[in-house]
Amino acid sequence: MSVCTFKRFKKTKLCTADLTHRIEIQSRVVGGVSFGEVEPVAVFTTLFTRWAAIESVGGIRSAGGVQNFSKVNTGESPTDFFYVRYEAALSELEVSNNVILFDNKRFRILSIENINRDNSTLVIQCTDRGDEDKEAASG
């Protein structure tokens, strides 16, 4: 029997069978500059590996046009939503230095929300980092 929950963003159900994409939630740590290196290097460490459903929003702006997390306005809008099963450790993850690795691309995590606060599904709102590894490493 398939377990489904309603997604907040569309009037459709999210079922176990929809979790077809393997993602990695990674922490990003910027290492120090060693002798002979020009720029600091970002090191990514996998914290969680999960099955997810993915919804691309193609840069659609949320209400007000910006995202807020930890009471900080990021000025960024999500490009993708990753839906995963609820896990307390994941729901409490600090989003500022974490990314999602999917299909050899990294997505900056903007927020993690417990849909309907029923502890069944988390939505991870992200923005596609593109080719920002050098920028991320420097700041």
Question: What is the C-alpha separation between 109 and 126, in angstroms, rounded?
Answer: 4
CATH of the domain at 91: 2.40.10.270
Question: What is the C-alpha separation between 34 and 127, in angstroms, rounded?
Answer: 31
Conformation bin of residue 109: beta by default, left when phi > 0, alpha when psi is -120 to 50: beta
Q: Give the tokens for residue 16.
A: 């176990």
User: For position 130, what pLDDT does the model report?
Assistant: 65
User: For position 83, what pLDDT does the model report?
Assistant: 92
Bridge partners of 62, per DSSP, are none
User: For position 64, what pLDDT does the model report?
Assistant: 38
Range of the domain at 78: 4-138
Bridge partners of 102, per DSSP, are 105
User: For position 131, what pLDDT does the model report?
Assistant: 55
- Tell the residue number behind the tokens 């600091």, with chain if given: 40
User: For position 11, what pLDDT does the model report?
Assistant: 42
Q: Per residue of the chain (139 residues), what is the pLDDT tens digit? A: 556 665 554 544 677 788 899 999 999 988 766 666 677 778 899 999 999 999 888 644 443 344 444 444 456 788 899 999 999 999 899 888 899 999 999 999 999 998 878 888 899 999 987 655 434 433 3
- Total structural domains within the chain: 1
User: For position 124, what pLDDT does the model report?
Assistant: 93
Bridge partners of 25, per DSSP, are 48, 100
Helix/strand/coil percent split, the chain, to 5: 15, 45, 40
User: For position 27, what pLDDT does the model report?
Assistant: 94
